Structure 1
Amino acid sequence: MSGLAPNAAEGLPRRLYFYNGGFLNPRLRRILSLAGHELCLGLPRPGDGVTVWGKSPTAKRGEAVALRHNAPLIRVEDAFLRSLRPGRAGDAPLGLLIDPYGLHFDPSAPSLIERIAATHPLDDTALLARARDGIARLQASDLSKYNLHDPALAAPAPGYVLVIDQTRDDASIRHSGATAQTFAEMLATAMADHPSARILVKSHPETSLGLRRGHFDATTLPANVTLLSTAVSPWALLQGAIAVYAVSSQLGFEAILAGHRPRLFGAPFYAGWGLTTDSHAFPRRKRNLTRAQLFAVAMILAPRWYDPCRDRLCSFEQVLDQLEAETRAFRQDRNGHVALGMRLWKRSRLQQVFGREIPLIFAATPQSAAAKARKTGRPLLVWASKATGLPPDLPTLRVEDGFLRSRGLGADLVAPLSLVTDDLGIYYDPTRESRLERLIMAPPPPGGLQRAKALVDAVTRLNLTKYNLSGTRPDLPPQGGRRRILIVGQVEDDASIRLGTTGISTNLALLHAARSANPEAILIFKPHPDVEAGLRSGAVPPESPADITAAHADPTALIDACDEVWTMTSLLGFEALLRGKPVTCLGAPFYAGWGLTRDLGDIPARRLRLPDGSRRQPVPLLHLAHAALIAYPRYYDPVSRRPCPPEVAIDRLASGTLPKAGPLNRALAKAQGALARYPWLWR
């Protein structure tokens, strides 16, 4: 799972002695520990090694000790998919290059990356497929080494020559055979090669943040040269460029991935493999690589990737899942929110999820929320059922619980692991378009269906549902050749019933409809957990058409035991689809109307037909699952207290390693249940 090349780490010493305070960093120490190393102070003994950070100014201390004691020297550097912010802005790395041979930006000796690139067969079909998917995922998710850029910012009009700046005095410049003068030569060459083109100089992210100086100054550049320091997407910049010039920046590597052949004035790891126009000679690099092969070396085989939620080494794909989750949260929350309609008990979790960048401002009324949003320039964040009376001109995100929510009920004040945000509508309201609908209608991203399959397999194998309550399967009547139909009860005043049904809207009416259509079947009624707990309305009388009421039963066991499922709008219908069961809908839940269910309710025409009036093709189940479980929700890991991908949430729900609700929450839940018959008091 580490992604390390075969035998690349064999023979490395376990104990590594360090002489740089940077190795006291907890994340750095943890990754090295998981990679099998123990960091030590003092002097190495036979069999020990010395570690240094790249070619930093302090590296000479360790180099001298290693030479004096004849100890192996291990150089450590950030991997190429690092973090949201640069290290100088406080973010810890998600991966390391642990190199016993050299350093990727110093061609004076062959580095780990160079050795793998020169000697690995790089002909494994699965490896190269992973590399191609990885390249496509980086572009689709708009991810780079650092990720403070804003995909919403428009790139300059296409047709420019892109010249890539770097920070002054960076070791990757000095050891790449370049100087500050090299950058002036690079710009002059670009202007000479393209005398009539616009020249765009892209600042390094650390320069844009004011952390380190670059090599170019906007006040001294020629008239046809523009210095770009805004947070425009690197991939958008590369898409609009007609040529790319670089010294040793990682953006030059990404230019290769974007289809360019960059002209290089330094000697980075990606030079000399037939993918660049080089100013330096590389006599050791005699092999021509494809983009996928180079990517496989640099991003899959060489690094040691780290999963900060599960605290373990992981694959490239898993670290990409994590960075996607963190970057999505940052992009959505970077300007802060004014929050409305959030019950007091939910506010702590909402602050954890949406207030990591800028703390939420809570408002009590739509009027005060609108005023605060206009004053601060923040968008609104509104609990979906409370999103009424808001000015239409204010950007608004509606919030609801996600579909893999918790181990316990929201009505019991158990905080959610997943929340959905919707800038168009909300998934349970078919009267208007939702962001989930658009995700279902759009093609999945690269690798999305494979990821959805693995997720669905895990959900079904681990018997996970929205609430994951404990329960058993009651004794069911023998079939005797009759079909068993699971009838899913709901909270009758739930918004999904109020908005998503037009005829049958009570549990008793649902049971009568199912009995009428299936007079010989065994009807098994599953009450909603909130109704069973006495917290919400929806109880049915004992003389209902059900053959058995499966109280406090395990929903997945019931799904498995039944031949089909009938529901109005319950999420249990979606969970039954994931488990391969036929589902009949009498309302219009988000999963209805795509060719996967038998629909007896009123389905919005936009789900059934394309804009030209032709009938829409059925949506594959994995496509629906990707939209609903991966693309639409945001997940929060209460253990590591950071955004996480759904795979981490599944691990938490399956293992039960979740913080318990405190006594105050339990007392509030009981009070809420006592007042359930007077909803106007607590809603």
Structure 2
Amino acid sequence: MHNDSTVLRPSSPRVAGYLSKGLARWHIIRCLLPEYSRQVRLKPGSRQPVDAILGWGLKPTSTRARRMAARRGLPYVAIEDGFLRSLGLGVHYSQPHSLVVDYSGIYYDATRPSDLETLLAEAVFETEELARASQAMQRLRRCRLSKYNHAPDRPLPTSDRPRVLVIDQTRDDASITHGMADASSFKRMLESAIADHPDAEILIKTHPDVIAGRKQGYLTQASTHPRCRLIGDDINPWALIDAVDAVYVVTSQLGFEALMAEKPVHCFGMPFYAGWGLTFDELHCERRQRQRSLPELFAAAYLRYCRYANPYTGLPSTLEATIDLIADQKRQRDRLAGRWLAVGFSSWKRAFITDFLGPASSVRFLQSDRPQPHEFEGRDSLVVWGQKATDELKALCRQHGLKLWRMEDGFVRSVGLGVDLTRPLSLAFDSRGLYYDANHESELERLLTETEFEPALLARAERLRRRLTELKLSKYNVRGKTLPTLPEGVAGSRPIVLVPGQVESDASIAHGSPEIKTNQALLEAVRHNRPDAFIIYKPHPDVVSGARVGLLDKRASELYDLELVHYDIIDLIELADEIHTMCSLTGFEGLMREVDVHTYGLPFYAGWGLTQDRLSSPRRQRQLTLDALIAGALLIYPTYVDPLSGEFCNADTAVELMQQQRDQRSGLPFRVRLYRLYRNLFSQRQ
């Protein structure tokens, strides 16, 4: 998971000290420095004994740390953001997903060796590692990921003449001063680009802060040249690279991404990727004598030099998992970007909906279910919970050109019940319908019908399924009692059928089970179909808690052999040979555990050749594998949010967060017990 650099590291765990507040702010520092058993912050004048001093590279903010290391005779260990950092910007406090740790220098300092330069000069790369590097480069390009991924990804307008990209940088950036460059390097770069391409339009990408006057660049005056055009907007680097025939840089990382896109790159400083025979270099570095292939350069920088961790779980990670996570964050951010109206949401839901809509959205909450016409002005989308979209609301959205979305809990939701006001880790946003409404096509149904699931995505779905099974996680993850011993002679002689109860007033039954609509009717059908089976009935936890409708009458006890109330649903699934359900999510959880599932309604997982179905839908004609169903329903369709940071995460992360929450929790929190008491007293007065 970490780099496997040949550069020497301390042989035993030690203590590292640091001065920077930034190092204390980032969650992944601890797990990405296993060389040190502890990292402690040192106050000015501190004499606390440590074995090394950590600091931010060679930036001016690290001067005190480097001086302290020299004064104490300790090694200075340089920390920097990795080459695939995050969705958002560090200045906006987005947690990093990767760091580099350098014991001899830092990658952007070409005046002396760094760990990365030593790797490129000396390391041997096996065929398997180079294949991994090539696959990762393809994925970064396909997912259009860069170091930072906050900028909108929109194509540049087409042009009838060639284009060349010249990258400006902010004045006196550490990568320039330590990359053997200065202001004259930018002047020569621009002059060369203009001379080398006499018929081309020269696009000069400068930092937005330079255009706004908050920072200084080097090429701001170039716009006076008739063939030069400044681009100061934030824009995805791949959109720029796509639009040009060649790229000119001083030390910008965008030059390396242009190499991944197979564009010629001209360097006028000495970035880490220059001097290895892949770029056209104005300068020469005596230490860089070896010719390296692009996969070798990538393997050294991204696979060995960089270290990866999940900032939400605090666990070490890999490049591939980091690509998955940031790509999922970017996809959901772009999908939900816009100006929203949210109609009819309680104050409890309002507290987290903003996070789920993401950093590229703004939302205005309306208490009334009947918005006034002026409230639609300047808005793109309107969202309601579940089936609360009235005909009047639909007509208003059509009239004002707003996209109507429905929102529901995701399939891997939380540790605790929604009815107990437990914040969800996942929600499903659907602009077509809702996943449980079999009468209309939902985005999930369209996704399952049309998506070509790539092998890498299916492999990830399989890993997620195994992890969910291993951890015994479900939608709500409410711990139950230890299972009782079944009556003698049942196991092995009679098929064990699990019948999960549902909330009978729930919209999923009204819209997804047109024939059988009550728990009692379901039990009657199951007993008729499986007269010799041992039937276990599990009431829905919301019904048991007293919050929802769905209790059986006394006669129903003849329809099942055993009622198990306060037990973990996953234990019951693993006990069962078959699951019979109207449209409960328990059927999906049973499929993941390879249990035979019979449906009496049309849940989202029915009709794809994986279940025994009483009903059918003409829209569902495709045969899916189980991993394809999981990929669509868990990896792509829902939106996941880390509750601590409020940032997007993904299914893989949410599963680990749930496990951590479950491990930390023992019994019902006092808040939940108090709320249940209030709710039940209030409901008795109705």
Match of 2:468 in 1: 459
Contact 1:585/1:597 (CA < 8 Å) preserved in 2?
yes
Does residue 470 (structure 1) correspond to residue 485 (structure 2)? The answer is no
Alignment partner of 1:518 is 2:530: yes
**Does the CA-based 8 Å contact 1:52-1:74 persist in structure 2?**
yes
Q: Return closer, same or farther for 1:290/1:435 CA change in 2, 3 Å cut-off.
A: farther
The corresponding residue for 2:157 is: 156
The structure 1 residue matched to 2:298, chosen from 295, 298, 304, is: 295
How far does the alpha carbon of each residue in 1:321-366 deviate from its partner, in whole angstroms, 9 at most, with x for none? 5544654565466655332232333332334544767774321234
**TM superposition shift of 1:52:** 4.7
Q: 1:575 Cα shift?
A: 0.4
Match of 2:559 in 1: 545
Counterpart in the other structure of 2:634: 629
Partner of 2:145: 143
Contact 1:587 1:601 survives alignment (8 Å): yes
Query: Is the CA contact 2:26–2:96 (under 8 Å) kept in the aligned structure 1?
Result: no
Per-residue CA deviation, residues 198-232 of structure 1 (Å, 9 max, x unaligned), is 33222235546765333333773433333222233
| Aligned twin of 2:2 | 2
- Measure, in 1, the Cα distance between the counterparts of 2:213 and 2:581: 57
Q: Is 2:617 aligned against 1:603?
A: yes
- Judging changes above 3 Å, is the alpha-carbon distance between structure 1 residues 379 and 181 closer, same or farther for their aligned structure 2 residues? farther
How far residue 144 of structure 1 moved from its aligned partner, in angstroms, is: 1.6
Report the secondary structure of 2:164's partner residue.
strand
Q: Quick one: distance in 2 between partners of 1:308 and 1:427?
A: 31
TM-score, normalised to structure 2's length? Answer: 0.86
Which of 640, 644, 651 lines up with 1:646 in the alignment?
A: 651
Distance 2:142 2:627 in 1: 19
Summarize the Cα distance change of 1:116–1:193 in structure 2 as closer, same or farther, 3 Å threshold. Answer: same
**Structure 1 Cα separation of the partners of residues 61 and 345 of structure 2:** 51
User: Which sits farther off after the overlay, 178-187 or 32-41?
Assistant: 32-41
Report the AA paired with residue 131 of structure 1: A
Q: In the alignment, what sits opposite 2:569?
A: 555
Partner amino acid for 1:515? R
Using a 3 Å threshold, how does the CA distance of structure 1 residues 665 and 463 change in structure 2: closer, same or farther? closer
Q: Which moved more, 1:191-200 or 1:293-302?
A: 191-200
Contact 1:565 1:584 in 2 (8 A): yes
2:549 is paired with a residue whose SS is coil
Cα distance change on mapping 1:416 and 1:26 into 2, 3 Å: closer
Shift of 1:97: 2.1
Q: What SS does structure 1 have at the residue aligned with 2:377?
A: helix
Distance change (3 Å), C-alpha of 1:32 and 1:518: closer
Q: Residue 612 of structure 1 aligns with which residue? A: none
In the alignment, is the contact (CA less than 8 A) between 2:28 and 2:310 conserved in 1? no
CA change 1:368–1:6 in 2 (3 A) is: farther
Q: Cα distance, 1:577 vs. partner?
A: 0.8
Q: Deviations over 1:423-463 (max 9, x none)?
A: 33221123333222343332346732332222211111111
Deviates more, 1:570-579 or 1:248-257: 248-257
Partner of 1:204: 207
TM-score by length of 1: 0.86
The structure 1 residue matched to 2:415, chosen from 400, 403, 407, is 407
Percent identity (aligned): 38
Q: Retained in 2: the 8 A contact 1:173–1:179?
A: yes
Contact 1:407/1:653, CA 8 A, preserved across alignment: yes
Counterpart in 1 of 2:579? 565
* Alignment pair present for 1:109 and 2:112: yes
Maintained 8 Å contact 1:455/1:647: yes
Partners of 2:10 and 2:35 within 8 A in 1: no
**Structure 1 range deviating more: 344-353 or 161-170:** 344-353
Alignment equivalent of 1:496, drawn from 487, 508, 528: 508
- Figure out how many residues of one structure are paired with residues of the other and give that number: 667
Report the CA distance between 1:76 and its aligned residue.
3.0
2:351 to 348, 352, 357: 348
SS in 2 for 1:349: helix
CA contact under 8 A between 2:183 and 2:218: conserved in structure 1? yes
Q: Deviations over 1:584-642 (max 9, x none)?
A: 2222211122222223213242x31xxxxxxx3x2222222122222222223334554
- Which runs of structure 2 are paired with 1:199-278 in the superposition (5 Å)? 199-204=202-207, 206-207=209-210, 211-217=214-220, 220-278=223-281
Instruction: State the partner residue of 2:287.
Output: 284
For residues 363-402 of structure 1, what are the structure 2 equivalents within 5 Å?
363-368=366-371, 371-375=374-378, 377=379, 379-388=381-390, 389-390=393-394, 391-392=397-398, 393-402=401-410
Match for 1:437 among 445, 459, 466? 445
The verdict on how the C-alpha distance between 1:356 and 1:183 changes in structure 2, with shifts beyond 3 A counting, is closer
State the shift of 1:267 in Å.
1.2
Task: Classify 1:658/1:186 alpha carbon distance in 2 versus 1 (closer, same or farther; 3 Å).
Answer: same
Q: Provide the C-alpha distance between the structure 2 equivalents of 1:350 and 1:490, rounded to a whole number of angstroms.
A: 26
Using a 3 Å threshold, how does the CA distance of structure 1 residues 209 and 408 change in structure 2: closer, same or farther? Answer: farther
Q: Deviations over 1:251-279 (max 9, x none)?
A: 11111222323222221111233332222
Question: Which residue identity is paired with 1:381?
Answer: V
1:507: how far off?
2.6
Cα distance change, pair 206–15 in 1 and its aligned pair in 2 (3 A): farther
SS at 1:310 equivalent: coil
Confirm or deny that 1:482 pairs with 2:477.
Answer: no
Whole-angstrom CA distance in 2 between matches of 1:410 and 1:383: 13
Which residue number corresponds to residue 178 of structure 2?
175
3-state secondary structure, aligned to 1:644: coil
1:447 counterpart SS class: helix
Instruction: For structure 2, list consecutive stretches of 5 or more residues without a partner in the other structure.
Output: none
Counterpart Cα distance in 2 of 1:193 and 1:380:
51
Gaps of 5+ in 1: 609-615
After TM superposition, the structure 1 = structure 2 runs for residues 524-543 of structure 1, keeping only pairs within 5 Å, are 524-541=536-553, 542-543=555-556
The amino acid of 1:653's aligned partner reads M
SS in 2 for 1:505: coil
2:330 equivalent to 1:316: no
Q: What CA distance in whole angstroms lies between the structure 2 residues aligned with 1:677 and 1:548? A: 29
Contact 2:337/2:357, CA 8 A, preserved across alignment: no
Query: In structure 2, what is the Cα distance between the partners aligned to 1:416 and 1:255?
Result: 40
Provide Cα deviations, 1:459-497, integer angstroms capped at 9, x if missing partner.
111111111122243444515643222223222222222
Query: Does the 8 A contact of 1:639 with 1:658 survive in 2?
Result: no
Q: Structure 1 residues 468 and 260 mapped into 2: Cα distance closer, same or farther (>3 Å)?
A: same
Q: Hey, what's the Cα distance between the residues in 2 that align with 1:668 and 1:445?
A: 45
C-alpha distance in 2 between matches for 1:108 and 1:208: 31
Following superposition, the deviation at residue 283 of structure 1 comes to 4.1
Structure 1 residues 507, 661: CA separation in 2 closer, same or farther (over 3 Å shift)?
Answer: closer
1:37-76 mapped onto 2 (5 Å cutoff): 37-40=39-42, 41-42=44-45, 48-57=51-60, 71-76=74-79
Between the aligned partners of 2:446 and 2:590, the Cα distance in structure 1 is 23
Q: CA deviation at 1:149?
A: 0.9
Q: Which residue type is aligned with residue 272 of structure 2?
A: F
Letter in 2 for 1:156: P
How much is the aligned-residue C-alpha RMSD, in angstroms? 3.5
Distance of aligned partners of 1:461 and 1:636 in 2 relative to their CA distance in 1, 3 Å threshold: same
From the superposition, tell whether residues 68 and 162 of structure 1 become closer, same or farther in structure 2 (CA, over 3 Å). Answer: same
Matched, 1:97 2:96: no
Write the distance in 1 (CA, Å) between the matches of 2:383 and 2:416. Answer: 24
Provide closer, same or farther for how the CA distance between residues 470 and 168 of structure 1 changes in structure 2, counting only shifts above 3 A. same
Distance in 2 of aligned mates of 1:489 and 1:306: 40
Structure 1 contact 83–93 (Cα < 8 Å) conserved: yes
- SS of 1:96's partner is strand
Indicate the SS of the match to 1:241: coil
Return closer, same or farther for 1:666/1:211 CA change in 2, 3 Å cut-off.
farther
